[in-house]
Amino acid sequence: MEKKISILGVPMDLGQSRRGVDMGPSAIRYAGIVERLQRLGYTVQDLGNIAISEEKNNTSSEQNLNNLHAIVKTNEALASKVDEIVKNNEFPLVFGGDHSISIGTLAGISQNYQNLGVIWYDAHGDLNVPETSPSGNIHGMPLASSMGFGHELLTNIAGFAPKVKPENVVMIGVRDLDQGEKVLIKKLGLKVYSMHEIDRLGMARVIEETIEYLKDKDGVHLSLDLDALDPTECPGVGTPVIGGVTYRESHLAMEMLAESNLITSAEFVEVNPILDEKNKTADVAATLMGSLFGEKILEPSGKKVII
């Protein structure tokens, strides 16, 4: 991984219906992530937050896209900034905000890779399009949009589509899919590790297979929604689903990804402090980032790492 990390917050809650996730970036910062990464030897630059468009509630019943234009404007600005970070040879680390921000993150990153891989670590598929979405909430559409499916204003962020090829996507932790998402998964042949596969195979094998599947890509982006973890581990999320990935399984996944040296960009989303317990979910996010960037219980010499 690049030794220079640029942190970018996107305090947006327009992609879903439960308020509070706009405070996610602040909660993650409060959990001490900058200091944690610096202790690991990284040069960390916190670039602050992307300004959020205030052009809200411009949906129509025909579009079924809540706050479409505000989300598009915010993601256009995010894409431009992420592209700049990558071109500066820095690692983009994005804090959400709801998961609709990944439309902009991927738009910025994918301009710099020919064959970008994506790991979607999430309880949900985020594969809806306006015609299949039960709610019209765009945080349920970013992966579909990034693969070129959905409204053209979302698919064409930064002026091109698609951002990622379906065959370059691995989904991990899935356990709550709408019917339209199931149809699209089957149609595209997406590689999905639902909780069923994680339970049967174990997280170690899931990540081993993921690394093998993506090892030839010229970059790999990790998009981690904290609702991938069980609500007992991460209560501060807007759309909790019981029966999720454990805290320890998630750390193992991040540790193995760190050892693979595949990850070239990452985002952590859907931390909602209003729904949280004493910043527990943001603390989990920060510790998972520590593992992703090489933090270990023991140094190779056997010396204990003091956290």
Q: Which residues form the catalytic set?
A: 99, 122, 124, 126, 139, 225, 227, 270
Q: Is 176 annotated as a binding residue?
A: no
Strands of the sheet with 91-96, listed across from one edge: 43-49, 4-10, 91-96, 263-269, 219-225, 116-121, 169-174, 191-194
Q: How far is CA 264 from CA 1, 68, 203, in A?
A: 6, 29, 21
- Is 122 annotated as belonging to a binding site? yes
For residue 24, the surrounding DSSP H or E stretch is helix 24-30
**Residue 199 assigned as binding residue:** no
* 216 known ligand binder: no
Place of tokens 């905000």: 97
Tokens read off for 39: 């202790």
Please tell me whether 227 is known to bind a ligand: yes
Task: Answer yes or no: is 99 a known binding residue.
Answer: yes
Phi and psi for 116 in degrees, rounded to 5? -70, 130
Contact between 217 and 115 (Cβ < 8 Å): yes
Measured between alpha carbons, how far is residue 4 from residues 30, 36, 47, 144, 160 in Å?
21, 14, 13, 30, 28
Residue list for the binding site for Mn(2+): 99, 122, 124, 126, 225, 227
